[in-house]
Amino acid sequence: MSILNADVLHIVSNELLHREGRGTGSSLLSLSVASRLCRQACLPIIFSDVRWPHKSKTDPDNKLSFLPESLRPHVRHLYLVWHDEWTEPGRLRHGYFDRDGMYTPSSLDIVSSAIVCMPKLYRITMSFPFIPPQSLFQAIGQCASLTSFSLVDTPIDMGLVSVYPSALSRVNLSQVGQSLRIGDGPTDPKVSDITYFMRDWRRKYRLQAQIRGLREPRACAVFLRQQAPSLTHLDISGGLCSFATLAAVQWPELRTLVLYGHVPGTQVSYAYPVTPPPEASIWDALERMPMLNDLRLLFSRPRGKEFSLLPQDGSPHPRHLEKLASLTNFAISNACNLDGILNYFPSLQKLAILAMIDLPRWPIALSHAEAERVATDVAASGCPLKHLRIIIEDKLTPRLCHLIATLFPLLEVLEIERCGYHDGKSMSTCQEFVDALLPLSALQSLRLCMQFPEYDEVDEMESWKTARAQCADMFASSLKSIQQVGFEYRKRAGTHRYQDSWLDFTITRSEGKKENGWGAKLGTGGTDQRCILRQLPELWYEFPEVWTSTRLPF
């Protein structure tokens, strides 16, 4: 063991982490205690992502403990996530209530002093049920290596501006209590419990809505003005900004803009010495972003009027069309008016059309007719579309698949999800869906919500899984370029709850006899080639990400 190359150990450690997922890693922990050399190889991986505080990590005086100094140089991503129950009157811990009845932590000095001793720290994610102290933001601002900062479900005050002079390239600012449902797929368990919305601190926060409605956007406006010169990626809730705020700054490096939640207001931001126009549109903001190529409008469906990107009466402005023509990635929710807008994206390579709404309601996705109309509009732009993700309301048919395959022959990634999937008798066979997608000669990843017979997900014989694996064999044998295939199913998410999920397989092609697992035989000019299917762990899209899924963390 002592002569084993450290680089090899590092590769083995990374592979173990990739296979088991971060947060489990039992094999990685076992390897780390095998020898001193193994420990040195594993520690930078085990402690690259660290969450604080832990309920059980306290000192003899019942004060919160932090990582030992010897481990702090390994930390790359720090999650500062305070436990909600510590703020409850009957379960108060590590804090006290001030004169206004708001929870205040006893001390965060331990984490403030530790942050400045993390030379590799590049990302911080914060979620606190209280306003973070200014000293913590000042400590964050001293991290020379910091490039990514997320403030999620946390009250915001002017202390946020103390993150400067740290120059960030990626920022995520999410409003308190904002919980969105995309389709009917997995949601974070904490927002599936009604107690999440009934916490004492959230109730008090809502009572101060009028004050917060002025204070939080103002603090965010100053913070964004400070960081705008270096930002390349911005995710922000519409309740924390306005189009006027975004239009008041130049964004020279911004390539990705993600707006989600409710549509940003158009109120004047008084944080700037020069008052912007009293009314501003999204175009006033987009014109300040010359490098923008990825725009995501992930608004939840409002009860009133839909959000329209283009004017409903009259022709679009030539400058607006020029901006749309420069976008290569575009994601939009069906809370936005889609009529005619997708005709104007000639450079589009990635498109996602999602059904979104505020929890605990369920969204209504596009009908078949609407999906066909949208696909026709996109094709009319002449764009070289390679990645399409769409959520529909009705049962999938080979006709819609064939239309998409015909209109977009360059597709490499295709995902058609049904909102509220249910097994049931299908009017079409698997072979009909395969034939419908044959024009996609470059397809690499496929996910379909096609119907399967009614099988129970908890059936010990797993007939529901076998049926999908057999169908995956057919796709693998017919679509020679495909590398991954998945099918939707209805998953139990509790005693009386269900949610949509995906059963995904990777496809490995090799010549010779069939190995263990599912396999399909391909004829390749006199030789036999086998497709070996291996089931992947459950994957989901970590909001507001829409292009790349990651391993389900719960």
pLDDT tens-digit readout, 396-411: 999 999 999 999 999 9
Which pLDDT belongs to residue 485? Answer: 98
Listed residue (496, 522, 500) closest to 511, CA to CA: 522
In 3-state terms, the chain is what percent helix, strand and coil (to 5)? 30, 25, 45
Which pLDDT belongs to residue 452? Answer: 92
**Alpha helices, DSSP H only, in 47-175?**
109-115, 134-141
* Contact criterion met (CB below 8 Å) for 386 and 347: no
Q: Which is it for the CA torsion 291, 293, 299, 305, positive or negative?
A: positive
Going along 31-76, which residue ranges are E strands? 49-52
SS3 24: coil
Number of residues in the chain: 554
Task: Give the max Cα distance, the chain.
Answer: 83
Phi and psi of 322, rounded to 5°?
A: -65, -35
CA dist 166 and 187 (Å) reads 33
SS3 150: strand
Q: Is 554 exposed, middle or buried (0-12, 13-18, 19+ CB in 10 A)?
A: exposed
* Contact criterion met (CB below 8 Å) for 116 and 143: yes
Which pLDDT belongs to residue 208? Answer: 82
SS3 180: strand
Peptide bond just before 537 cis, omega within 30 deg: no
Phi and psi of 329, rounded to 5°?
A: -125, 130
* Contact criterion met (CB below 8 Å) for 106 and 96: yes
Which pLDDT belongs to residue 28? Answer: 65
The parts of the chain modelled with pLDDT lower than 50 are 1-2, 23-24, 266-277, 514-516, 521-527
Going along 308-402, which residue ranges are E strands? 329-333, 350-354, 356-358, 387-392
Q: What is the pTM of this model?
A: 0.90
